[in-house]
Amino acid sequence: MTLSKNQLKHLRGLCHNLNPVVSLGQKGLSQAVLDELNIALDHHELIKIKLGVDDRELRKQLITSICEQTDAEQVQVIGKTLSVFRRNPKKPVVALPKQ
């Protein structure tokens, strides 16, 4: 699912009031963390993830890996905080504007 610019702008606005749901430490992306991310995305659709990685290149790789493995869209990255969105087809939670 690709999001339009208008939809991304709407989701960024919704992100401001969110707190990080999952925190990643130095050990990176384990199967347990992936399971928690999938549960959170199914329940909330739009979540924030706190990344505990200091190296920028490693953080970029981690962000790419998270988005690929969870089928989520990157909404925004501010510092070490990543916001992602994945639509729940059974029970949509977030109302997206039309294209």
pLDDT digits (tens, 9 = 90+) for 29-85: 889 899 999 999 999 999 999 999 888 999 999 999 999 999 999 999 999 999 999
| Greater model confidence, 37 or 92 | 37
CATH classification for the domain delimited by 5-85, as one of 3.30.110.60, 3.40.50.150, 2.40.50.140, 3.30.300.30: 3.30.110.60
pLDDT, residue 97, reads 86
Domain boundaries, the chain: 5-85
Report the candidate in 40, 1, 4, 2 with the shortest Cα–Cα distance to residue 22. 40
Nearest 5°: the CA angle 52, 21, 4 is: 95
CA distance 68 to 26: 20
Residues forming a β-bridge with 50? 23, 81
